[in-house]
Structure 1
């Protein structure tokens, strides 16, 4: 009785072996079932390589995109922007245009009573005269300088008088504020009398006003107003 059961079990075992060999299919002719098991392991090792290849491919695009970030290259255009401020710095020439024209100098017609010009001083007139054409950029300096450089009392045969001819004065500078011209002188006055005080002041003021196109003038001598300086004479 036991023997037929053993044979049945063996038959089942054989069938099970055939069933297993049938699951593997065509590779059954390869006698090494253990080698087949070993071959199955390489696919498992190859599958990690494929999976590791996938991360590399995905990592490479992500790695390339940060490396190609256009933001660092976008910083170069601002470097071209500072070039424009240097161009704006070019217009630095603020000087006056050069001109060639006669200068207007004022002298005194003593006792003229305002007939030939503005009435000043002791019943005198202030008369405008012109020089030969002169080249200049600021007309105030050359005009006042020409007046102070004249060391003759009589202005030719015109009958006009220069009361500043003995004074030792130099033009330092001037500034125009609206319609008022201010000039600065150094040195000292040498006048012939009380009536020369308004004459000297008028010569300086009218010469400066005409040169600057102003309607009023202020004169400082050694840093003090001309009225204060001349009041001591």
Structure 2
């Protein structure tokens, strides 16, 4: 009898294990629930479907459309380089009385002229050199610095004040040329870098002190 009881308990255990295995196999073979709105896979297809494109890294699609890859720099001399914006140098329209510019000095007008410039610090140098005789003077405008022999040494900008260092000789053509020289140098330097104040030195002296000696 003991042997029969052992066989019955083992038989029941084996049958229970077989039933659990059948349930597991049935569950594994059941189709997975589809997300709402997704159509069933085509007949005859096997294995999992490919991941939706939305799950792919954005840089992959970007490189194909040109959005993900950095833009190539234009080759030097190709004619596609960015053109530097012009600089504005200031000249004098004598006895104009402010009709075509800012009135100052001996009833003159201070008039800006757009000229070819550079980028960064070169813009300040290009603008100042334009009134030091380094560029072509616009017609009908007077340059009070035209007969001087000044050269641009250096310049800097701290976010508020532009500083310019010049060297050489200044040869004003008369009393009225003194305010013209000051206005031309100051306004040209201010606008070249967008400063609110200008400090200009000639041979180590401030422009105001240097003009007092003339």
Is TM > 0.5 for Structure 1 vs Structure 2? yes
Map of 1:51 onto structure 2: none
The verdict on how the C-alpha distance between 1:151 and 1:143 changes in structure 2, with shifts beyond 3 A counting, is closer
- Deviation of the 1:151 alpha carbon: 7.8
Q: For the structure 1 residues 232 and 135, does the alpha-carbon distance in structure 2 shift closer, same or farther, using more than 3 Å as the test?
A: closer
Structure with the higher fraction of residues in helix conformation: 1
- Kindly report the root-mean-square deviation, in angstroms, between the aligned alpha carbons of the 2 structures: 1.9
C-alpha deviation, 1:167, in angstroms: 0.3
Alignment of 1:58-137 (within 5 A): 100-132=84-116, 134-137=117-120
Tell me how far 1:224 sits from its aligned partner. 0.4
Unmatched 5+ residue regions in structure 2?
1-81
Q: Residues 137-172 of structure 1: CA distance to partner in whole angstroms, max 9, x if unpaired?
A: 3211111122212487x632xx21111111000111
Q: CA deviation at 1:200?
A: 0.7
The answer to whether residue 185 in structure 2 is matched with residue 201 in structure 1 is no
Partner of 2:150: 169
What is the CA–CA distance in structure 2 between the aligned matches of 1:161 and 1:171, rounded to whole Å? 20
Contact 1:136 1:142 in 2 (8 A): no
**Alignment coverage as a number of residue pairs:** 132
Q: Is the 8 A contact 1:106 1:206 kept in 2?
A: yes
Q: Which position in structure 1 is the counterpart of 2:59?
A: none
How far has the Cα of 1:226 moved from its partner? 0.8
TM-score normalized by the length of structure 1: 0.53
Q: Deviations over 1:119-152 (max 9, x none)?
A: 22111110000124x3433211111122212487
Structure 1: 4+ residue segments shifted above 4 A: none
**Greater Rg, structure 1 or structure 2?**
1
Aligned twin of 1:231: 212
